[in-house]
Structure 1
Amino acid sequence: MQNDQEHSHAKARQAVIDILDYLGEDTSRQGLQETPERFLKSMVAQTVGYSQDPYRVLEKFFEEVAGYKNLIMLQNIHFESMCEHHLAPIVGNATVGYIPNGRVVGLSKLARVVDIFAKRLQIQERLTSQIGLALDEVLLPKGVGVIIRAKHNCLCTRGAYKPNANMTTTYFSGVLDTDSVKRGEFYTAAALPWGNGVHHSQ
């Protein structure tokens, strides 16, 4: 097993060297000698979400909610991901909320779920849906809402080159999908400038 990992690592390292050679670089020069290892470590860190299970994180929920049945929201969840098309950074913020139906989770769990899905090769549409579906499937809430706004380096620094462009995606389920009033309340709460990023509907 260890030999297989070492062989795979050596192949990956050589692949980075080959790419640098393709770009016309001298891979023997001092500034690039550690680059293959640094690049591989960076890629492993940026895709660590593949080795983590967001569903297990959410399974640590509480059922004693003292009758609370209104919106729970965590705003301004910073995340960093990577575009699967260009391996370019995606940097943004997520707002995640749900209307409980007897199950609630600690706020840190919402942030961790965002991070786990973000630390994979992604497109923003799928990232948004994965977060929402995980909350739906584990917490069985009355409704889930997810709003993500992010900047994509594949758009901002290359190609169409739109450095000021942001992408917004949403996911709504349950009453937040079918009830326009409740969905409007979600949008309103998401826009409020709460300094700590936490909102409990009253």
Structure 2
Amino acid sequence: MIDQKKAEAAIYQLLEAVGENPKREGLVDTPKRVTKMYAEMFSGLEQDPKRQFTAVFTEEHEELVLVKDIPFYSMCEHHLVPFYGTAHVAYLPSQGRVTGLSKLARAVEVASKRPQLQERLTAQVADALEEALSPSGVFVMVEAEHMCMTMRGIKKPGSKTVTTVTRGLFKEDREQRREILNLIKEK
């Protein structure tokens, strides 16, 4: 849970430190607004991606399950500026264990709502799925634009970072990976 008073004081001090007057009309409520925003952006700290798989069913289906183009927003832990994009989550059920499709999106949502690295976000979603379902294979791909590369430093807007995590059959079988990548690319 966010410490409202402490966060507001820190934002107030930051405004002063950069040479602004936090008492001027446009900034008076900024510490409260920023604190409220961070409480929302970091709400995943209070949850575990692994606990999002509350609906697990037995179904005679052991073929690919893929949810693609899951939008997400996160905050780079190095600069505390956003990175955002889409996640693609796939698994091969084992012993008929499947989950509600929304649970895949919820795992992405929870893992992204914290100061984060894209590489860790990708792995956390894969770990959560693997632990919850023990599938034959897991494939997670995250594509994102990082504001720390767009607004500052190298200043390359539009560049995307792609990370993947493969487990089980998807790690071992290139043809299986190729099939998933083709499905992700299809619109």
Q: Same fold (TM over 0.5)?
A: yes
> 1:1-202 alignment to 2 at 5 Å?
8-63=3-58, 65-66=59-60, 68-101=61-94, 102-193=96-187
Cα deviations across residues 14-45 of structure 1 (Å, max 9, x unaligned)? 11111101111111111000000000000010
TM-score norm. by structure 1 comes to: 0.89
SS at match of 2:171: helix
TM-score norm. by structure 2 comes to: 0.96
Paired AA for residue 145 in structure 2: K
Question: How much does 1:59 deviate?
Answer: 3.5
Question: How much does 1:9 deviate?
Answer: 2.8
User: Structure 2: how far apart are the matches of 1:33 and 1:79?
Assistant: 30
SS at match of 1:141: coil
User: Structure 2: how far apart are the matches of 1:52 and 1:169?
Assistant: 23
Question: How much does 1:69 deviate?
Answer: 1.1
8 Å CA contact 2:144, 2:162 repeated in 1: yes
Cα deviations across residues 34-61 of structure 1 (Å, max 9, x unaligned)? 0000000000100000112322221321
CA RMSD of aligned residues (A): 1.3
User: Structure 1: how far apart are the matches of 2:176 and 2:134?
Assistant: 18
Aligned length: 186
User: Structure 2: how far apart are the matches of 1:178 and 1:43?
Assistant: 40
Cα deviations across residues 91-118 of structure 1 (Å, max 9, x unaligned)? 1000000000021011111001000000
